[in-house]
Chains A and B, each alone.
Chain A
Amino acid sequence: MRSLQREPGVLLALLAVIALVGAFIVYPQLRVIATPGTGYVDFITGGTWIRSTSQSIQVMLLSTTSAVLLGFVFAYGMVYTNMPWKRFFRVIGILPLLSPPFVVAAAYVILFGPRGLISYNVFGQSPNIFGLGGIWGVQTIAFFPFAYQLIADVLSRSDARLEQAARNLGAGPWQVFRTVTLPLSRPGLGAAILTTAIYVLEDFGNPALIGGTFTVLPTQAYGLISGFGDLPGATAVSTLLLALALILYVAKIRLDGGRSFVTVSGRASSMPRPPVPVALTWTCFAACLALSIVILTVYGSLLVSALTLNFPTILTPTLQHFQYITTGTNGTALQNTLVFGLVAAAFSAVFALVAGWLVERGSWRGRRALDFLLIMPAAIPGLFFGIGYATAFNEPWLDWLDRGVLIIISMIFWNIPVGYQAAVAGLRQIDRTMDEAATSLGASSLRGFRDILVPMLGGSLRVGFVTTFVRAVTTLSVVIFLFTPSSTVATIRIFQLVNDLNFGRATAFTVADIGMAMAALGVFAILARGRVALGAARA
């Protein structure tokens, strides 16, 4: 506290951060929670929430289990075996993180729908694909790459030296895994499972596209607003969704201290891991290959659909879908996607860096509360966040505010945890004597931050920027209540076009959207000298 009084610049920065967090993270949430008011009584007695809640939990359990199992096999193969084609599998594992998760649902319709390539063209069937089974299958494919990244991160952090030591003491490969690796990485694995569960629970796009009458909490909230204009009901459902997500998130924090997030890892183990049996290696290889074929089929069908007249019925090659998405309001949507993403990513990364510095290097009271608020958006379902902004800032006195600006602000603060945690992790790797050295040479702490820490935190800044950009251009749920015709973005257009069953145009948008994310990642990889980035996107 005394050090703050001595440095008014730091105090000002802190007050600014607190004010922004209060206005754009705390306030919108409180508005959502408060909106139903006495409506909570009707909502609870009305009982419509029981069905969607139980269905949400049901699909969460199913999809999380299958996604985690597949993700584990993939991760184990990548971390522990020396199977061939690892570079290929690594690329395959990243691809889904660069796309809006709900495009898997679009591919699913293209492949297995009533006129689907596999269901109709190959098997001559027109099945009803909507409902629980469809959601389960689609979410498994959409989220297993996330589970893979999280689990691979945990496994690669397990100490190879301990495993070598166990082998040296006479344990076999399986015994090492069971008695050393697993017990040590259990909290991390638990946290990875819970994080995957949150992704699944909050998924809006997939259930919205192929849920049919199978309603989950996010689709119920959306339906109440878009179908009935029932804001109190929708906010009550959203609050329930937030409560469930927070329960999972608090459990996750208890396991791993809240310090993991799918972002970027350029980690390379310095010590080789003990070899695993050949049979296990090839089993993992076969499984990874099968999963890669599924992923490639999904994204391949999207690409082919974007380049043909009416896939899979009319296979004439055409660029007309791309012409469509680059002209008129659609061109604006693409441009918005890029501009919003870039601006949000830049502000989010810089703001997160300053906030991370104030929290990690400060010694003032209330640091932990600010830390919690800065990580919290990671637990907030995108839909809830969007409704929060729509509720809090849909006021007459804010009419002058451009909706595009509002979308950018929502993207900045919804993604704060990414850059913030990257900044904190980066700062923790810089010894405090660096700051002190600058201070003892005559630099104020703000000056030391600028001259010494910021240049050393380039990696954290890049992580925050790229991951935020990827998440911003792939999110649907945050923006679905905020867009206007002039401030629409690619994900919104994809969602609308799939709903209109206009797959050619929808997939062209998808390809463009993924292209932007891949370009961002490519630039990052060049800046980070070839190290790989993993962006976590959510619908």
Chain B
Amino acid sequence: MRDAPSTATAAVHLRLDHVTKKFGDTAAVDDVSFDVPRGSFATLLGPSGCGKTTTLRMIAGFYDPDAGDIVLGGRRINELPAHRRGTAMVFQDYALFPHMTVRGNVSYGLRLAKVPAAERDRRVNETLDFVGLGKLGDRWPNQLSGGQQQRVAVARALILRPEVLLLDEPLSNLDAKLRVQLRYELRALQQQLKMTFVYVTHDQDEALSLSDWIAVMNQGKVEQHGAPWEIYYRPRTAFLADFVGAVNLVPATVRDVRDGNAVVSFGARTLTVPVPPGASMRTGDEVNLCVRPEALGLAARGASTDGAALPGKVARKAFLGDLMRYWITVDGREWLVDQPDPGATMPYEDEVLIHVRPERVHVITS
């Protein structure tokens, strides 16, 4: 297995320390702790109801945590009123003030901070230019497209030079193409400003492509946090593997462990795979093998392959443009296999071989 890009431990900017938030009897956020390095693009990822937005709103000060500390720039901010935290936020529906022009919206925070008019104007112009809205200052929010509104929302928050910028699913109301485009704009913006962003989304593509650091949440807890690479290729739980991307999860039994490798068996087949760093495995353990569909290869029956080959039968296939996704039955179990550049060959039919490279198999022990 190749090494993940290094995640250098920069200075901690935002720290959540055993934070819990209950609504009634249910813990929306349950004993969550993590550190966000200064200047990083940090993402809270999870299905709806996992507690990611609640976590963000506690950082913003809209909810008080029931337990635990929130520390921003070395200072505990639990008791600090929301409007004094310097945590400007970009909302899912933008929350632009409909009775103010673009300029009015963007300058609102500066007016509250009593910034002199001349400097205010200068900064508004600068910020509007920065997000590419230089000419739209006198428009009203309802005269803007969704993408423009989104930029106004970002500009309105950025202009305050906040300690951290909080973003609550800011792209989810946009159509697919624009969403992808603005994704890269946001990332570029963040890298240019070197500002700490805390970003909430349920869209794993978005999280993977934007972030320096991802925390995946489920049922109020952080299941795993780390670099996107780690989250994707070394998920610690079956939930994570399944939530982030498409995956084959195959229950297997450990037969032997030796020299950093484990011999595992599933059905009648045996495979020797690497033991993930930090994981402990013993003979007889029940584990899950996690293989991404794009890490598997396909070949016609009879072709020679290196590594392990599983004979199977094509059950279904779907043409997705950039790849062809196959559902292939092996020993009564369906495997997902993605074939890149489907235009290069004829689609496979019927009997095929799935080619498994053992170093691309990740073992989930829990």
Contact = CB atoms under 8 A, between A and B. Distances in A.
Interface of A: 2-3, 6-7, 431, 433-434, 436-445, 447, 451-452, 455-456
A444 B83 contact: yes
Contacts of A433: 91-93, 95
A436 B62 CA distance: 7
A436 B97 CA distance: 11
B320 interface: no
Contact of A443 (B61, B79, B83, B96): B83
B83 A437 contact: no
A173 B99 CA distance: 43
B89 A437 contact: yes
Contacts of B2: none
A460 to B, nearest CB: 14
A438 B91 CA distance: 11
A433 B98 CA distance: 13
B162 to A, nearest CB: 8
B193 interface: no
B81 A440 contact: no
B199 interface: no
B89 A436 contact: yes
Given A433-B93, A456-B98, A456-B99, A440 B157 contact: yes
A442 to B, nearest CB: 4
Interface string B73-91: 0000001011110011101
A442 B160 CA distance: 9
13 contacts: A6-B79, A7-B81, A437-B95, A437-B156, A439-B62, A440-B83, A441-B157, A442-B83, A442-B84, A442-B109, A442-B160, A443-B112, A447-B112
Nearest to A437: B95
Contacts of B60: 436, 439-440
- The 6 closest A-B CB pairs, nearest first, are A441-B109, A437-B95, A440-B89, A433-B95, A442-B112, A455-B99
Nearest to A445: B83
Given A6-B79, A452-B97, 7 more contacts: A7-B81, A437-B96, A439-B62, A440-B60, A441-B109, A442-B160, A455-B99
A436 B92 CA distance: 12
Contacts of B98: 456
A170 to B, nearest CB: 37
B89 to A, nearest CB: 4
A441 B64 contact: no
B113 A436 contact: no
B273 to A, nearest CB: 47
Most buried by A among B95, B112, B160: B95
Given A7-B81, A431-B93, A440 B112 contact: no
B112 A441 contact: yes
B91 A437 contact: yes
Most buried by B among A436, A438, A445: A436
Contacts of A441: 83, 88, 108-109, 112, 156-157, 160
B166 interface: yes
Contacts of B112: 441-443, 447
Contact of B95 (A2, A431, A443): A431
Nearest to A442: B112
Contacts of A438: 83, 97, 108
Interface residues of B, number: 28
Nearest to B91: A433
Most buried by A among B60, B64, B81: B81
Most buried by B among A6, A440, A452: A440
B97 A434 contact: yes
B87 A442 contact: no
B297 to A, nearest CB: 48
Contacts of A3: 64, 81
Contacts of A7: 81
A405 to B, nearest CB: 35
B81 A6 contact: yes
B109 A434 contact: no
Contact of B108 (A445, A451, A455): A451
A438 to B, nearest CB: 7
Contacts of A434: 95, 97
B97 A437 contact: yes
A130 to B, nearest CB: 56
A438 B79 CA distance: 19
Contacts of B96: 437
Contacts of B87: 440
Nearest to B108: A441
A443 B62 CA distance: 13
Most buried by B among A434, A445, A447: A434
Contacts of A455: 99
A451 B97 CA distance: 10
A3 B84 CA distance: 13
A442 B113 contact: yes
A440 B93 contact: no
B83 A439 contact: yes
Given A436-B89, A436-B91, A444 B81 contact: yes
Nearest to A433: B95
Interface string B93-106: 10111110000000
Contacts of A451: 108
A433 to B, nearest CB: 4
Contacts of A436: 60, 62, 82, 89, 91, 95
B192 to A, nearest CB: 22
Given A447-B112, A451-B108, A440 B99 contact: no
Nearest to B96: A437
B164 to A, nearest CB: 11
A443 B109 CA distance: 8
Nearest to A447: B112
A456 to B, nearest CB: 6
A6 B166 CA distance: 22
Contacts of A445: 83
A426 to B, nearest CB: 13
A146 to B, nearest CB: 34
Interface in B108-142: 108-109, 112-113
B160 A2 contact: no
A115 B96 CA distance: 66
Contacts of A452: 97
Contacts of B156: 437, 441
A452 B95 CA distance: 11
A195 to B, nearest CB: 33
A389 B82 CA distance: 43
A19 B218 CA distance: 46
A110 B99 CA distance: 52
A403 B232 CA distance: 77
A440 B108 contact: no
A434 B95 CA distance: 5
B264 to A, nearest CB: 49
A447 B91 CA distance: 20
Nearest to A451: B108
Contacts of B88: 440-441
A112 B99 CA distance: 55
Given A431-B93, A431-B95, A440 B82 contact: yes
B108 A2 contact: no
A6 B61 CA distance: 12
A441 B86 CA distance: 8
Contacts of B97: 434, 437-438, 452, 456
A281 to B, nearest CB: 38
A438 B100 CA distance: 12
B341 to A, nearest CB: 44
Contacts of B83: 438-445, 447
Most buried by B among A7, A438, A447: A438
Nearest to A440: B89
B64 A2 contact: yes
A144 to B, nearest CB: 39
